[in-house]
């Protein structure tokens, strides 16, 4: 497996002097399912945002698919990530005025994906949401909303999914099902996952874990 992420000596210092990351070095190979673990405030979200190009480091660099992304412009990053990187967050960020199917189709339209409805229906069937196609987010459980958010990520057919506390707003049983789904996508479709969580009960799902504390990698 070749390297898909290389974070080199990442520092993130905010204007108020807060040091969110302090020289973090992490690499992830294609096909891995990696957990980024640590307590709240350890730098997990900051790390994911920088790796995915949603934020820039104060110092250090990120190679994504072998390309240095830290120096790319926003337009260059948008084009570079398209169809390669997708995000899943703790909050679902679904479009409340649109139903389940439409939430996927809107993303597909933005990305210029062909056969969008056919792909969306296939994904929603895989996610056990075929009976919810015409429901709006407020009519869904937390676990169902998160599965819609996963479907929205999958519609772009990404190589890499970055997930930030994806089970933080749902109960343990739903969270376990979400992680089983992640493993299935990893094993069957070869999608690389990097998932931030502070929940030690989820360690068993990862191939390996990277532990952060106070912005540094710890053993």
What pLDDT is stored for residue 92 in this prediction?
Answer: 85
CATH architecture for segment(s) 1-82+194-219: 3-Layer(aba) Sandwich (3.40)
Instruction: State the average pLDDT over residues 148-157.
Output: 91
What pLDDT is stored for residue 176 in this prediction?
Answer: 87
Residue 19 has pLDDT above 90, yes or no: yes
Q: What is this structure's pTM?
A: 0.91
What pLDDT is stored for residue 156 in this prediction?
Answer: 87
Give me 2's structure tokens.
Answer: 């070749």
**Helices H / strands E in the chain, number of each:** 6, 10
Mean per-residue pLDDT of the chain: 92
Residue 1 has pLDDT above 60, yes or no: no
Opening angle at CA 76, ends 64 and 155, nearest 5: 70
Contacts 24+ apart (CB under 8 A), 112-118: 113/155, 113/156, 113/157, 116/155
CA 125 – CA 101 distance, rounded (Å): 11
What pLDDT is stored for residue 31 in this prediction?
Answer: 95
pLDDT tens digit sequence for 76-113: 988 888 889 999 988 888 999 999 999 999 999 988 88
Give the list of residues 6+ apart from residue 37 with CB closer than 8 angstroms, or none. 44, 196, 197, 198, 200, 203, 209, 210, 211, 212
Residue 202 has pLDDT above 70, yes or no: yes
pLDDT bin (cut points 50, 70, 90) of residue 219 is low
What pLDDT is stored for residue 169 in this prediction?
Answer: 79
Contact (CB, 8 A) for 22 and 214: yes
For 71, 82, 107, the CA distances from 149, given in Å and listed in that order, are 29, 17, 11
pLDDT bin (cut points 50, 70, 90) of residue 36 is very high
Backbone dihedral angles phi then psi of residue 83, each to the nearest 5 degrees: 75, 5
Residue 62 has pLDDT above 90, yes or no: yes
Q: Which has the closest alpha carbon to 107: 156, 146, 162?
A: 156
pLDDT bin (cut points 50, 70, 90) of residue 74 is confident
The dihedral through the CA atoms of 119, 150, 46, 42 has a sign that is negative
Domain ranges of the chain: 1-82+194-219
């Amino acid at each position: 497996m070749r390297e898909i992420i290389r974070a080199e000596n990442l520092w993130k210092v905010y204007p108020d002097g807060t040091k969110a990351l302090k020289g973090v070095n992490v690499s992830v190979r294609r096909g891995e399912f990696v957990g980024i673990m640590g307590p709240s405030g350890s730098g997990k979200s900051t790390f994911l945002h920088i790796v995915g190009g949603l934020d820039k480091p104060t110092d250090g660099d990120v190679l994504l698919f072998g390309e240095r992304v830290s120096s790319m412009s926003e337009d260059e990053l948008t084009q570079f990530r398209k169809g390669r990187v997708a995000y899943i967050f703790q909050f679902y960020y679904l479009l409340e005025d649109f139903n389940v199917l439409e939430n996927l189709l809107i993303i597909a339209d933005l990305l210029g994906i062909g056969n969008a409805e056919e792909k969306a229906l296939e994904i929603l069937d895989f996610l056990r949401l075929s009976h919810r196609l015409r429901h709006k987010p407020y009519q869904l459980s937390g676990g169902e909303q998160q599965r819609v958010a996963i479907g929205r990520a999958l519609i772009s057919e990404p190589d890499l999914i970055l997930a930030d506390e994806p089970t933080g707003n749902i109960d343990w049983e739903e969270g376990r099902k979400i992680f089983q789904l992640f493993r299935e996508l990893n094993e069957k479709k070869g999608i690389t996952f990097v998932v931030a969580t502070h929940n030690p009960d989820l360690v068993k799902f990862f191939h390996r874990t990277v532990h952060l504390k106070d912005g540094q990698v710890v053993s």
